[in-house]
Amino acid sequence: MPTVLVPIDLPDWAWERAELRQALRRRDIRTVFRRIQQYAGASQARIAAATGMTQSRVNEIINGRREVSRLDVYERIADGLRMPDDARHLLGLAASREKRSGGAAFDLTAFPEVVRVYASQGSAAAEIQQQVRETERLDVLAVRGLGLVGLNDSLLRACLARDEDSAGLRVRVLLLDPDSEALARRAAEIGESVESLAAGVRLTEARLRELADRCDIKVYRYRMLPTWRLIRTGSTMFVGAFDAGWEGHESATYKVMATAHGPLYRGFSRMFEAIVDGADRTV
């Protein structure tokens, strides 16, 4: 009689953890199993039941006495852990044969860097804040930035004002030049006066200047029409789009993580650095 496998379900966030994704790229099943124990509370017997192995075989893998090399075993592990398709790609496997309903409207498996799509920035707020609290380096590309860093109740303000022990935080913020033609065009796109939008940029600069003794902060003005809204923390970034008629925080927000060969994280990072190079520092 064939063995009945009982899959293990991990929370979505577990598959987005950097250490687990790196282990998948290396096909380091020892680390994968250890993270399954950590994130799912699964015993060796439970992992064995999910992946069609014996408990002794799982024990040998976890303790470094045996490695996995057969493709059919990788497939069985992926199925038993219900790996999402982007995780399967990192392991070198094709997308799952099972079609899950309720997913994104387009195929994210073609872009394993994009690990989650939120309906708006607000949907991602808690995760963004957690990432910023844990990072030592933060980059922000915005228009006026009030909703991100300029107000007491903005998304990231409280995360930047850390205690003295966290003085190592380095922050770079790019804001649209209030005196530029691009700002006037952006104001027209969203139906706002130039004076109001420019005043918002200047207010954010002033409020960021107040944080100069709490973190290493640099603020720049750029002069191009904004296209992307970007928050980068280490190897993770959250990206939204500016367009006529809506603000960046209203856009779908894409969580992008660096991968060995993916172009998106590298491309957005290159764009950010190019804008910094052509911008004027004000703080």
Q: Between β-strands 280-281 and 114-118, what pairing exists: parallel, antiparallel or unpaired?
A: unpaired
- Quote the Cα angle for 103-4-42, to 5°: 70
pLDDT of residue 85: 83
Average pLDDT value over all residues in the chain? 86
Q: Is 152 exposed, middle or buried (0-12, 13-18, 19+ CB in 10 A)?
A: exposed
Considering the four listed CATH numbers 2.102.10.10, 3.30.870.10, 3.40.50.620, 3.40.350.10, the one that applies to the domain covering 116-281 is 3.30.870.10
Domain boundaries along the sequence of the chain: 12-96, 116-281
Q: What is the pLDDT of residues 20-64, one digit of tens each?
A: 888 888 889 999 999 999 999 999 999 999 998 999 999 999 999
More confident residue, 242 or 197: 197
Query: Could you give the CA distance from residue 176 to residue 221 in angstroms, rounded to a whole number?
Result: 5
Q: Which fold has domain 12-96?
A: 434 Repressor (Amino-terminal Domain) (1.10.260)
> How far is residue 181 CA from its own chain's centroid?
32
Q: How confident is the model at residue 282 (pLDDT cuts 50, 70, 90)?
A: very high
- pLDDT tens readout for residues 235-276: 899 999 988 777 777 788 889 988 877 788 999 999 999 999
Q: What is the pLDDT of residues 16-25, one digit of tens each?
A: 888 888 888 8
Write the pLDDT tens digit of every residue in 199-225. Answer: 999 999 999 999 888 889 999 999 999
